[in-house]
Structure 1
Amino acid sequence: MNKIYINDKISVEKLIKLLKISELEFIKILFLKNIILKKNNYLNFNFVKKICIELFNTEVLKEENSFDNILKKNIVLNKIFIAIIGNVNNGKTTLFDFIYKKNRTLYEYGKITQEVFVEKFFFLNYFFYIFDLPGHHFFIKIVDEIIKIVDIVIFLISIDNKVDLNLINYINILKEKNKNIIICFNKIDLNKNFNFNYFNKFDIKKIKISSKNGFNIVKLFKKIIEIKTNINCLKNNLNSGFIISSNIMKNNIITKIFLIKGILEINDYMIFDNESVKIDNIYLNNKFIKKCYSPEIIIIKKIIFPIKFFFLIKKQKNEIEKYLDYKDQDLKMKKFYIKTDNHNIGNSIINYYNKLEFNENINILKISIGNFVENDLNFCKIFNCEIILINSSISKNIYNLIIKNNLTIKKFFLVNDIINYFKNLNSCKLKELILGIAIVKKIFNFKNYEKIAGCYIEYGYIDINNIVKIYKNYKLLYKGKIDSIKKNNIYVNKVFKNENCGIIIKNFNNIEINLKIESLKI
């Protein structure tokens, strides 16, 4: 039996559309029952319910009880978001596998998690969304972003390792941010000597577990429920989500998305800072759908997304100036073209690259997801790039063309291997402290053809006495000094987060919208 949902009253015209029959057929069926209606007549709920059951084999329900209507109200009951973090080889993925009955540990290269994994399951009348996060410090930016949206952080500490002071510091940082934390002492089945008393100074819930044999796992989830958290991510009014991972499967790009808030429909746009991506397919549980409600884990196929993390959902494309590929004129600078099969690896490399003290020694022209194909080769030939592949495939024919064109190609499997490679190039060092970041939002003309960068301070503060670097789409354009800063028509030496100001840069006038200005402590 079909179901339709209506309000207290409905027009005959709308009812015909809901029943998905022709107007002539509808009138004919009712006429045989001595019921005569006009197209513009309004019918009450009880009458419609009666005729639909008797004549059209259709159940009629109140619109307020429809599934769509319930979800539109964002009724989110008994849902908990959890992040599992800890150092490499502390058993995070093993715990994840035990909960979801998977065997991911068998397929991880080097038994190291290089992706974000998220799954949901229903237990004790709660939906649990669990994020298994990479343990390597190169992924710390991704870990930080996800921890912002979860309710509870599970610190997994293996009793067969020494106490990690970096982990202890991170616990203190999250406590200051009022995050709910549970410390899980893992591998309790090994019966090792471990200094549990060291953690007594923390006013945090603690539990001993074994992710291998499941000891105390049920008790762990009961502790999670006891905390009774609010879902922080859903307090944001913006329709949003983030990319969990992108991978290549059977030569197709498969992207897993976590929809945090709102509704995603076919032909909507995902907005990543300066780029808009139109969505033409959505899959939920391997089935094509036209609409998805948050919170949910979905798959999008055959779309190349930018190497960004969070996105907003909009009905229209953002009218944002597109970045152009920037060809550096310094022939001494080493240029790189990176292709990876993993979205999180791409994010981590960008994060590392932006933290180089002198990244003018190396210039990453492009990072993208997918296999290395002829279009990639043509780009590398034009800009004379060194090619780096991270778990990305390449045909024998394309490889031979690379060698024929005297281009360099290197292959890596782990993110720390590529980072170590960069570290050894030209004595690149991790940079000093970034004091502030400003984004150019407007451009104003000044005397002598100078341009004023109308800026919004996105992070920290900008000091006129500090060195600044200017970036365009991860490419360094300029390193030097600020000539002047003006706020509310008054010259100042310093501007702070969330303030607007005008900045003139010494010996640099190529100001563009969305340029990033970093203020550095040398």
Structure 2
Amino acid sequence: MKKKIRIFNLITIKDLASLTNVRKEEIIKICSSLGIKVSVYQRLDYELLTLVASDLGYEVELIDKQIIRRNKARISRDPVIILLGHVDHGKTSLLDYIKRSKVNYEEYGGITQNIGVYKVNINKNNSLTFIDTPGHEAFLAMRYRGTQITDLAVVVIAIDEDIMQHTNEAINNAKAVGIPIIFAFNKIDKKNSDIDKIRRKLAERNLLVEDWGGAYQSQEISAKYGIGIDKLIEKIILEAELLDLKSSQEKAVGSIIESSLNKENGYTATIIIKDGILTLGDYLLVGEIFGKVIKILDERGNQLKYVRPSRPVLIFGLNGAPATGDIFHSYKTETEFQKRFSYKNLLKKEPDLRFETKPSEKLNLIIKADLNGSLEALTEVLEKIILNNKKINLIYKSIGNINESDVLLADTYKAMIVGFKVKISSAAQKIANKKKILIKLYNIIYKIDKKLKEFLSNNSKRAELIYGRAKIKTFFTIRKLGIVAGCIVLEGKMVINSKLKLKRDNQSFYIGKLTSLKTFKKDVNLVKKGCECGINIKNINNIKIGDIIEAYKEI
């Protein structure tokens, strides 16, 4: 009996490879044997998907039978490009030059100036939609979800500087999602520019550009003076043509770019349609937010009756403000909408459910360390671990403390984070708690292999919800009680009857239970950040001033 793959939408070769644990090259070879030439990022139509899956021993079940019908009348669509890179390396300057040279700049006021989404008419045959990702931390979620709603990424690198942390994050995120990358080497007008240094550092990460015989397109540019930008656009168009982007002409599916609320218009949302056509009067469902589309505005403020894929528009009529990156679906009738809304509610406990297949043979992992030498040693240790037939799939590695970007990336790819001699920012910890991301910190490399194997064997489905952390300022011993520590709460809160860990230099050395919590000699149930408290710690005699008490529960 064949195993079953259940999907809501047509998938790419990369997706199918992940679901079946078969190499992408093998699937491409099967397609070639059928006389069909395909790329890694190309979506397989239903007939081809069924044939290839059958050859691999799988049966395909489409949850939405409409897909088969929609696939028969597909039309070409424009590509959506995301601009990524480090702050001040020239992403916005590049886009500003493209706008000035290719369109009437005054046309792009209103919503586009606020959200950084632009449709640019290159010529009579080609239009491109650009997303300029903001660098502020509040938009980290948009940046990571953004590469999932876009077709290709342009990574801008200032060659008078270096490949910075945000650049590394951008490259890893685009690679993990599986979209093509084009490198734009900016600031070639600077005298101290060293292009080969950047090419060499990319090559060290197995990112070999075409100029050096590799597969990644690149272009030297000056966003300030417009040098090389026409050639960059030509390469973007060429890459998009290879993707052979298509769309149906029926129900719209797309992503929220931004949303807001004002007294005059109520809730509004800026969207990009990825597939299908949105028509005035359609019903929209975005998670638990919904509504009827009562107005559509283009980038110039003109009202539209319908909108095709890859074009940013502003819509009116939702009953709430959806989050940036959320996926929406449209429905033509209220009856159809109500049916799907009810079905959606049944799945809301598992909103990311897409398919059923055999268990994964990979453990997705993100590694952070204090130094490059430590990072490489840690990588070597972890890549050798095979547990219950699971191999390590390294999503991302870098030096530095664990931040929001790391946690969001872990959430996107259902990954675990392992840190060596690093800390977790309070903002990152909050996101990890909310999204139940598993994070393990270590201080001694040679112990990691054993400890991680033990942890994964015994706790493969266990994570920790951190309530808070307190620092020990003083302590004393009471004969019948044991040690009582005088503490100040640094983050979150201390909660009675939670589990507790004692940590020194990020390394746990004691696990117990928080059974006694006092403020001013009064028993309390919790103590919040910034407040002092007394915590009774039993069966230990080696604590020090400065040790950290972590209150948590297992989930």
TM-score w.r.t. length of structure 2:
0.42
TM-score w.r.t. length of structure 1:
0.45
Higher Cα Rg, which structure: 1
